[in-house]
Amino acid sequence: MAKKYRVQLKAEERAQSGQLIESRDSKSPQVKRAYALLAADENGDKKWTDQQIKQTYGLSIAGLERLRERLVTQDLNTALMGKKREVFPEKLFTGEVEAKLIALRCSKCPEGYNRRTLQLLADQMVSLGYVST
């Protein structure tokens, strides 16, 4: 199967990878990625196959493909350091709001209803001003 993303590092990218390897512990993931990229580099000395890189550095073939993709589609720093983690939005339900929901659920049903539905609870939470939506 032909590789979709090919590693062709520039001289400064090779130098940056070498500096990272020298400055960090050899067991760190960043160093492992740097070694793998240098081994996969078509302009470099090694020009290893994916199988050789897998056996030597302990990366899976799929992981190596994702590493090459990040290098080609983004940049060397993202490929070496990994992608940024998503920041999750603030939670809507604090402990206080959750306690109000439980109290509302345990109270008597409104007139005309014999049981509470999720939609009824949601509408009442909004109308009482506990949550905005």
* % helix, strand, coil for the chain, step of 5: 55, 0, 45
DSSP classification of residue 60 = -
Residue 82's pLDDT band (cuts 50, 70, 90) = confident
With bands split at pLDDT 50, 70 and 90, how would you rate the model's confidence at 6?
confident
Q: 98-110 pLDDT, tens per residue?
A: 999 999 999 988 8
The conformational region for residue 112 under phi > 0 = left, psi -120 to 50 = alpha, else beta, is left
d(CA 29, CA 68): 15
The yes-or-no verdict on residue 67 having pLDDT over 80 is: yes
pLDDT of amino acid 86: 82
Tell me what the mean pLDDT of segment 54-77 comes to: 91
